[in-house]
Chains A and B, each alone.
Chain A
Amino acid sequence: MSEPLLKVENLKKYYPIKSGGFGKVSETVRAVDGVSFSIREGETLGIVGESGCGKSTTGRMIMRLIEPTEGKIMFQGKNIMNLSKRDMRKARKDIQMIFQDPFASLNPRHTVGRIIEEPMIVHKMGNRKQRQKRVEELLELVGLSAYHARRYPHQFSGGQRQRIGIARALAVQPKVIIADEPVSALDVSVQSQVLNLLKDLQKKFNLTFIFIAHDLSVVRHISDSVGVMYLGKIVELSESENLYNHPNHPYTKALLSAVPVPDPEIKTKRIILEGDVPSPAHPPSGCAFHDRCPVAMDICSKERPHLKTLEDGRMVSCHLFD
């Protein structure tokens, strides 16, 4: 088995909350609390979870757009946490990002050509002519036309704008693309176009994806393996077929059962979780999920479970599997 291209170990992000006006740290928000995973080249890791679970923070930390509090990010065998600011900027050429909001992430005053060219200028790639040629290639690649380069973002629909965002990410020939909710702002009929495009591009360039989303069906469709996050931690991580067909963690089970299935014949037995996700500033003791868990045991409120690898290679963080 080949070495993973990207390996994240015990990644943490803590935000101190100051109060009392004297700069005293009264509490800590554990946005991401010890996340580990690895991805092999050309594969897709999906990260799912509800809002506030830390999935977007995790994505941003891999690019060090948010500086991690603790942890290791091994990319091609090197820990990019040790890179200086300047070296990190260079390293970002290999890791690019696609954002959720295709409306907000494109500068409205720049032409599409300029937007796509920009990362190439930053990384000093080619001369002006070569770059412009590449912009045209990229536009064709994502299903737009070369003449679109002269237009402005507001002249495009949501799906087209997301294609522009993808072209911009591809401009510097990255190895890894972190996609943060790339289709959640799009209509269903357009969403499927963008998902197909991402799959095509992955095959063509042997891209590695980290696909962050809240939509479980979308994640299943695109991912080889999937990590489920709850309150800053991964509660289950496994090969995607396995996870969806036989979820282990009670939270994964509840999450899957909660999705309304677009087929009136399938009436799933919904597991309705009580209450809301607790605040990451005051996570429950022991297992963070125990207060909403339908099968919680005594130990769950006392001891925090660790992510264990089961026999079939799936990883789950739950006392049921001790």
Chain B
Amino acid sequence: MFYYSIKRLLMLIPVLLGMTLIVFAIIHAIPGNPALTILGTKATPEAIHSLNRSLGLDNPWYVQYFSYLKDILSGNLGTSIQTNSPISSEIWPHLAATIELSFVAMIIAVFVGINAGIISAWKQNSFLDYTAMILALIGVSMPVFWLGLLEQWGFSIKLQWLPSIGRDDIRNSVDPITNLYLIDTLLRGRLDQFWMVIRHLILPAIALATIPTAIIARMTRSSMLEVLKSDYIRTAKAKGQRMIWIVYKYALKNAFIPILTVIGLQTGLLLGGAILTETIFGWPGVGLYIYNAIQYRDYPVIQSGILVIAFIFVMVNFIVDLLYGLFDPRIKYR
């Protein structure tokens, strides 16, 4: 297992390298000169030339790529054109906001999705099954921005139950430590703020969780249906075991591998795909960060943002790979 993890980690290196190369290539394929962007259209050719030289932009592309790579490895993600501060220190609060939101959304998706799927499979062709599956179908097909707007209209404007924008109230903002507000408020012993953070999380998390919930529910259902038909479930019944126990202990562990795969992929997508949700709910996450950068043509930020998201995506799936072995002893790591 240890040997396998090391091997898998080593195999990640070419993947990550390829990723940096693609990001690098895309940015360089975009027409326009960064020096021109920085200095403005009235800059003299000499000034542009000297800035190009100081930025290293007159070097051949592979020299540029390697110096870019060297920067990344030393933790230097470059400088934002917009704010002129280092991206590596700027990006974390955004990333933390996205991680917090995605994490809560994923908990909702896993809990609701798996249970809905199990009940659907257990009571196949019942009213419950049909209801759950129709809801799942709606969940997959509903555009996130539409659902987000509906939520805001219903729960914030009409009912006024929950806030519709941001991570905290402007007049009662959280004093960050880790930038993960759920942890920060607890560290500072501010239970009132903890509750406020949760209230802010609910609507965007639900919006973000819809699609993964639906996908997990459908995967759980089909996976469970197959397992419930198998001989060892019959054996468990023949022992005199209770059905609820058989379903949640025996069947679920067997059905879990495909569900785990979906959870992994969806987690990755959530982290990267939160742009829509973050824009609608004014959530200061990576998605919103990149969205703003695009509007300002802040190339270094876009580049770094994409890189960080891709990195997280790869790592999540690496972890999922390792988790398979926990659920199925037949999977051998060599």
Contacts and interface: CB of A to CB of B under 8 A. Distances in A.
* Direct A–B contact present (CB less than 8 angstroms): yes
Interface of A: 19-21
Nearest to A20: B334
Nearest to B7: A21
Nearest to B11: A21
Interface string B314-334: 000000000000000000001
A21 B334 CA distance: 7
A4 to B, nearest CB: 46
Contacts of A19: 334
4 contacts: A19-B334, A20-B334, A21-B7, A21-B334
A20 B4 CA distance: 10
Contacts of B7: 21
Interface in B290-334: 334
Interface residues of B, number: 2
Interface string B1-40: 0000001000000000000000000000000000000000
A282 B276 CA distance: 58
Contacts of B334: 19-21
| Main DSSP-derived SS at the A contact region | loop
Nearest to B332: A19
A308 B61 CA distance: 74
Nearest to B334: A19
B51 to A, nearest CB: 48
A20 B332 CA distance: 12
A19 B7 CA distance: 13
A21 B7 CA distance: 9
A20 B334 CA distance: 6
Nearest to B4: A21
Question: Ordered nearest first, which 4 A-B pairs have the shortest CB separation?
Answer: A19-B334, A21-B334, A21-B7, A20-B334
A32 B167 CA distance: 68
A137 B334 CA distance: 57
A279 to B, nearest CB: 16
Contacts of A20: 334
A19 B334 CA distance: 8
A13 B7 CA distance: 32
Contacts of A21: 7, 334
Nearest to A22: B7
A311 to B, nearest CB: 51
Nearest to A26: B334
A297 to B, nearest CB: 38
B331 to A, nearest CB: 15
Nearest to A19: B334
B325 to A, nearest CB: 16
B2 to A, nearest CB: 15
A16 to B, nearest CB: 15
A9 B7 CA distance: 45
Interface in B126-144: none
A266 B334 CA distance: 52
A111 to B, nearest CB: 31
A20 B7 CA distance: 10
A113 B334 CA distance: 50
B230 to A, nearest CB: 20
A30 to B, nearest CB: 22
A24 to B, nearest CB: 11
B3 to A, nearest CB: 10
A281 to B, nearest CB: 15
A106 to B, nearest CB: 25
A129 B334 CA distance: 59
B7 to A, nearest CB: 7
A207 B118 CA distance: 57
A27 to B, nearest CB: 13
